[in-house]
Amino acid sequence: LSGNNLNGSVPLTLLQKKGLMLNLEGNSDLICPEGLCVTKDGNGSKKTNVVIPVVASVAFVVVLGSALAFFFVFKKKRPSNSEAPASYTQVSDVRTTRSNSEPAIMTKNRRFAYSEVVTMTNNFKRVLGKGGFGMVYHGTVNGNEQVAVKMLSHSSSQGYKEFKAEVELLLRVHHKNLVGLVGYCDEGENLALIYEYMANGDLREHMSGNRGGSILNWETRLKIVVESAQGLEYLHNGCKPPMVHRDVKTTNILLTEHFQAKLADFGLSRSFPIEGETHVSTVVAGTPGYLDPEYYRTNWLNEKSDVYSFGIVLLEIITNQPVINQSREKPHIAEWVGLMLTKGDIKNIMDPKLYGDYDSGSVWRAVELAMSCVNPSSTRRPTMSQVVIELNECLANENSRGGTSQNMNSQTSIEMSMNFDIGTTPDAR
């Protein structure tokens, strides 16, 4: 604005404009607060002025930076609602510790303090076993109710997410063939699942002979897999939303004092889609040998992945062979049974410890059902509802023993094989 012979006072609002520098030389009648304008005096000398807008900009940046620094420091120190109380010991590099983003279990029903867990286990005196989750201890609650207390180990492959998933699933599902949750402990690093006590351990122990006693006969094995199938069928069809177990195996089938079977270990369980969707995409999880190859290849999970795993369990109770055995011509049990079926001789497949004490029609039907469950294509596998029906028929055949039952079983089994599109069907029965 220099050299315009302006007069009057320079507006203060104009002088306060950020980044604006006014040059008012040649306006001798213009009134400007000292130090805010560039002017020229009567002798022609320039005054050096402090540029207020620049100073104001620098000050604003400094104030803003200080405010942001204070905000982040305050947020870091402020306790989150999802964190454990300050009295708990938190160790950031332990996988059992709940992360800030992981919400706590909503319900406090059946929640035990860690001190109560110590008391109920008599300071962890009696060990029942050890799994991927951690050590399992015997305990008692309410004076005489026996329980199994599973403590999450710091070195466990599972963490708070799996712990929380199992608690919340078992708090909302109830079935005679699913292990019951008595309670849980969620106190800092101390995470525990408290189950009903299963006096006879798991199915794998009995199949391997590690628990001693007599060998499970064919009828008892069928009863166990029927009840296990009923528990799995409930997860698929009785839960809203439906659930996929994702880790069906013989070590996760537990037995009561009277050998009633109950499915256990729901840490990997996931809801699967309904209303027209056929699968959920998820990171592959499960146990090698039992893992559905289609799920492993595509990451697409649905209830048929459980059906595959259950088929492997069926092959185990039929053959009493390990799922993976590198010394066999076909290391995986499904491939090995498929190879043996081409020879059409049931004796090469059945557990020799049974000494032929079974109805052959019942066995053939169970073998064919198992092979349909492990079909490489999930769409060709039966549903768990169909599996329950077929296994009950196998059990009925075994119970009936003799007469014309074997011929009738044979015919029904052939029809079932055709319906389920089994790739390998025995040639001799």
Lowest mean pLDDT, pick from 6-15, 82-91, 194-203, 295-304? 82-91
Rounded to two decimals, what is the model's pTM? 0.68
| Distance from C-alpha of 382 to C-alpha of 374, rounded to nearest angstrom | 10
Question: According to the model, what pLDDT value does residue 42 have?
Answer: 45
For strands 300-301 and 261-263, give the pairing.
Answer: unpaired
Domain 114-196, CATH among 3.40.50.300, 3.30.200.20, 3.40.30.10, 3.40.50.10610: 3.30.200.20
Ranges of each domain in the chain: 7-77, 114-196, 203-420
pLDDT over 90 at 265, yes or no: no
pLDDT (mean) for 281-307: 82
Q: Which residues contact 129 (CB under 8 A, 6 or more apart)?
A: 135, 136, 201
Distances in Å between the Cα of 321 and the Cα atoms of 191, 263, 352, 377, 382 are 35, 21, 10, 24, 23
Whose structure tokens read 């023993």? 401
pLDDT tens per residue across span 190-215: 999 999 999 999 999 999 887 877 88
Most confident segment among 236-250, 251-265, 342-356, 393-407: 251-265
Kind plus residue range of the DSSP H or E element containing 360: helix 360-373
**What does the DSSP 8-state code read for residue 358?**
S
Kind plus residue range of the DSSP H or E element containing 233: helix 218-237
Count CA within 13 A, CB hemisphere, residue 255. 21
Helices (H), 238-302: 293-298
pLDDT tens per residue across span 63-116: 666 766 655 544 444 334 333 333 222 323 334 445 444 545 545 568 999 999
pLDDT tens per residue across span 405-428: 344 344 444 344 434 444 444 444
For strands 190-196 and 145-151, give the pairing.
Answer: antiparallel
Range list of β-strands (E), 288-354: 300-301
For strands 29-31 and 7-9, give the pairing.
Answer: parallel
Q: Tell which residue, 367, 179, 166, 171, has the closest CA to residue 260.
A: 179
Question: According to the model, what pLDDT value does residue 245 have?
Answer: 87
| Distance from C-alpha of 309 to C-alpha of 51, rounded to nearest angstrom | 77
Pick the catalytic residue from 247, 306, 351, 359.
247
pLDDT tens per residue across span 37-48: 655 444 444 444
| Distance from C-alpha of 49 to C-alpha of 264, rounded to nearest angstrom | 81
| Distance from C-alpha of 310 to C-alpha of 172, rounded to nearest angstrom | 23
Q: What is the dihedral of CA 103, 107, 109, 110, to 10 degrees?
A: -30
pLDDT tens per residue across span 132-171: 678 999 999 988 899 999 998 776 556 777 788 778 878 8
Q: Tell which residue, 247, 242, 236, 244, has the closest CA to residue 300.
A: 244
Distances in Å between the Cα of 102 and the Cα atoms of 33, 96, 170 are 60, 12, 19
Read off the pLDDT band of 398 (50, 70, 90).
Answer: very high
DSSP 3-state of 416:
helix
Distances in Å between the Cα of 395 and the Cα atoms of 29, 71, 286, 330, 377 are 113, 68, 29, 29, 27
pLDDT tens per residue across span 320-344: 999 999 999 899 999 999 999 988 7
Count CA within 13 A, CB hemisphere, residue 63. 6
Range list of β-strands (E), 256-307: 261-263, 270-271, 280-281, 300-301
Q: Is 46 annotated as a binding residue?
A: no
Q: Which CATH architecture has domain 203-420?
A: Orthogonal Bundle (1.10)
Task: For residue 29, indicate whether it is catalytic.
Answer: no
